[in-house]
Structure 1
Amino acid sequence: MTEAVPSLVPSGPLQTAVFSWSSGALGPTEPVQQVILHIYTAKGLREYAFAAAEKLAELGKLDSKEHKGKTALLVAVTANHPEIVQDLLSLGADINACDVKGQTALHLAATYGFPRVMQVILSIGPGVNLEARNYEGNIYLIVFLCFQEIKSNKTVLHLAVKEGNIQLVRHLLKTPLDNMRDFVNMKAHGHTALHMAAGLHGSPHQEEMLRLLLSGGADPSIRNLENDQPAHLLQNGPHGEQVSSRTDRQTANGHYVSLI
């Protein structure tokens, strides 16, 4: 078993640690390659983790699990290592893999409230299972809706808009919430989600994002810290004017309210 390590990862101080492993926590039959990847990932050793993951991806073993059912990706999420999460996903790690409790990367990122990890996951797009439930029946979106990043006050809606994740924005706005209008109009550093969507210059989803937010109760009259309304953040020129003129929302009375 000791001969497998040098061919898998760069030599380093953790090779000694791997061979002193004696707790049996990862299971006595777990191949050393998979043990190394989980250890390097948990410790945040990005270069070593990438080397191990690259080799395991070639062997079709990148999503191997430890005793709690966690793949290396789930370990990286739980340990709050967004760069390693990105690396593992780039190598083909299964974004929808779950542990023994049925928790996916999305569940764990939402539960622990790791915004940078969330942003990496949200950037994946269509491959993410937005309806995933853990074994207690909790859909991750409900947990997400309760999340607000402490430093910037960003909600998951802010993060989804920032990443241009139109699929997640649709799902969030379909979630039954008594205070949906308040949720949609929450501010992060003075910006509502509508402000952020207006600033998505060049994004193919900008217009649809604005329309979805407006139909979900976004208030186009709210001003940010610079006293700008969302319409003021649209790109200059004819294209910005076209987006503004086409982005209307229908109220309950059947009237349309323009972004400007």
Structure 2
Amino acid sequence: MDSQNKDRYEIHEAAREGKTSVVESLLNANPRLSSRRDEDDRLPLHWAVSYNRPEIVQLLMQSKNFDVDAQDGLGWTPLMMASSLRAGDGDALIDTLLSAGADVNAKNNNGQTALHFAASKNNIDTARKLTAHKASARVKDKRGQLALHRAAAVGSVPMMKLLLENKSPVNATDVDGMTALHHAISEGHGDAAMMLLKAGAETDKRDTDGHLAIQLAPDAKIRDFILQSAEREGIDLEQ
């Protein structure tokens, strides 16, 4: 970055680096800097959230033109970024953003919501906060995936239970014709697969390549575990 741009985006850099006093000084000199967008179409707020700088977020929220749902160039809101932080790290930020009225069902350019990211990162506490604020577990992104597909892919049984309790369809398919069960089995998550089967996952659904979920098991050990567990539970598993 050349020196002119470095000066122009000094507040963005300070927000990333957690330099609260620098951000405060820059805002005092020019309050409009809070709404300056950088080359990624990001506000200082986006960087403060993605680098988990709660003190700086609080400073930026005092701006007259503060928009809690401001989107960057990819359509990401601050709440989406906070929901993508490592489990537990973004709790304070999420509480702050939710209390400021953040839209829990806002979508980015790929149609993903904060709940999709919480599920991908297995941030169960974040997901609980989001659903408590009416985040929908029924939103599909542009690949046709629900948050449930993502939770299944990472094998999170608690996350899947939460999403199903919040009326996520268990048998929805994505653009590849894959259900959550397909994702759980293909990633080798036997316990997650069994949880879905007990919740009513259909075993006769085929993906766009014609595969049943059980046929995507990465090895015989996973396949046998699922087949034997299903038999013990009295579940007929299409093979």
Class of the TM-score when normalised by the shorter of the 2 chains:
0.5 to 0.7
Corresponding position of 1:96: 94
C-alpha separation in 2, matches of 1:98 and 1:47: 16
Is residue 179 of structure 2 the alignment partner of residue 186 of structure 1?
no
Is residue 6 of structure 2 the alignment partner of residue 11 of structure 1?
yes
Deviation, 1:192, is 1.1
Deviation, 1:230, is 0.6
Deviation, 1:244, is 2.9
| Matched letter for residue 125 of structure 1 | N
TM-score, normalization: structure 2?
A: 0.64
Pair 1:167–1:196, CA change in 2 (3 A):
same
Describe the SS at the equivalent of 1:11: helix
- Checking the alignment, whether the CA contact within 8 Å between 2:177 and 2:207 is kept in structure 1 is yes
- Checking the alignment, whether the CA contact within 8 Å between 1:73 and 1:88 is kept in structure 2 is no
Give ranges in structure 1 of 5+ residues lacking alignment. Answer: 1-5, 18-29
- Checking the alignment, whether the CA contact within 8 Å between 1:37 and 1:49 is kept in structure 2 is no
TM-score, normalization: structure 1?
A: 0.60
Q: How many residues align?
A: 215
Corresponding position of 1:23: none
Deviation, 1:232, is 0.2
Is residue 80 of structure 2 the alignment partner of residue 80 of structure 1?
no
- Checking the alignment, whether the CA contact within 8 Å between 2:70 and 2:77 is kept in structure 1 is no
Quick one: which of 119, 144, 162 aligns to 2:153?
Answer: 162
- Checking the alignment, whether the CA contact within 8 Å between 1:249 and 1:257 is kept in structure 2 is no
Describe the SS at the equivalent of 2:164: helix
Pair 1:111–1:165, CA change in 2 (3 A):
farther
Give ranges in structure 2 of 5+ residues lacking alignment. Answer: 13-22
1:125-144, aligned counterparts within 5 Å? 125-126=122-123, 128-132=125-129, 138-140=133-135, 143-144=136-137
Deviation, 1:116, is 7.2
Describe the SS at the equivalent of 1:159: helix
Corresponding position of 2:223: 240
- Quick one: percent identity of the two aligned structures? 12
Is residue 181 of structure 2 the alignment partner of residue 200 of structure 1?
no
Pair 1:133–1:256, CA change in 2 (3 A):
closer
| Matched letter for residue 85 of structure 1 | M
C-alpha separation in 2, matches of 1:144 and 1:31: 38
Quick one: which of 115, 118, 122 aligns to 2:112?
Answer: 115
- Checking the alignment, whether the CA contact within 8 Å between 1:62 and 1:93 is kept in structure 2 is no
Corresponding position of 2:55: 61
**C-alpha root-mean-square deviation of aligned residues, in Å?**
4.8
| Matched letter for residue 200 of structure 1 | E
| Matched letter for residue 235 of structure 2 | Y
C-alpha separation in 2, matches of 1:88 and 1:186: 24
Quick one: which of 35, 41, 47 aligns to 1:44?
Answer: 41
| Matched letter for residue 173 of structure 1 | L
Deviation, 1:155, is 2.0
